[in-house]
Amino acid sequence: MSGISTIPVATALTDAGFTVWTPTVTEECRVGKARERRERSVSLTPGIVFAKDDRLHDLAVMARSPALTFQRWNPETKRMERKGCPPFAVFRYQGQFPRINDRHLDPLRQAEQRAQPRDRGPHFNAGDEVRIPSAAFGGLSCVVDEVQSRFAVVRLSGSMGEMRIRVEMCDLLPAKTAA
């Protein structure tokens, strides 16, 4: 799969019912003679889409099919419709499909959050359960106590009691994330 088809493949696989994710960033570019500004989504990892492995066999069959199409029920027209997907391949290493732990994708999720403009970046409210994937408190779950512009004051509870720390919002991830 080329870098240009990364987002269309992710969209088509999502439409087919797969749980997929690729880190994207919104990029502003100028188009035409008038040089009008236009926003477009670009993948941070061109050519790579991460998929949940619960339907790995179906994904491999779809990648090998000669015509990459699938049928989907359209509730508006009340009939099955055929949709297409750009060609793609499922990565194999030493004859097997490698499985990546969800926690190993945290650096990519953080890179995606950091690439977003501040107003579009992650936003958590007081009471939200989050986790800190890196730094000294890496892997710990905590609760947001208060929000201060681009920072959040989080409460860590442990055997030593409770501790409140101030963390930048882009360094936090929701407590439950999936590929």
Show which of 99, 119, 152 is a domain's final residue: 99
- 17 vs 69, more confident: 17
Does any domain span residue 74?
yes
Does any domain span residue 179?
no
**Per-residue pLDDT for 2 more than 60?**
no
Q: What percentage of the chain has pLDDT greater than the value 70?
A: 91
pLDDT at 118: 62
**Per-residue pLDDT for 179 more than 60?**
no
Does any domain span residue 114?
yes
Q: What percentage of the chain has pLDDT greater than the value 90?
A: 20
Convert the pLDDT of each residue in 59-74 to its tens digit. 998 888 876 667 778 8
Convert the pLDDT of each residue in 99-149 to its tens digit. 998 888 888 888 888 787 766 656 788 899 998 877 777 778 889 999 888
Kind and range of the H or E element at 151? strand 151-158
Does any domain span residue 132?
yes
Domain ranges, residue 94: 3-99
| CA-closest candidate to residue 100, choices 91, 112, 87, 111 | 91
Residues in the chain: 179
Does any domain span residue 22?
yes
Contacting residues for 23 by C-beta, under 8 A, at least 6 apart: 43, 44, 45, 108, 109, 111, 112
pLDDT at 121: 58
Residues 91 and 111 both lie in one domain: no
Overall domain count for the chain? 2
pTM attached to this predicted model: 0.61
Residues 38 and 53 both lie in one domain: yes
Average pLDDT, the chain: 84
Mean pLDDT of 78-94: 84
pLDDT at 59: 92
The answer to whether 141 and 128 have CB atoms below 8 angstroms apart is no
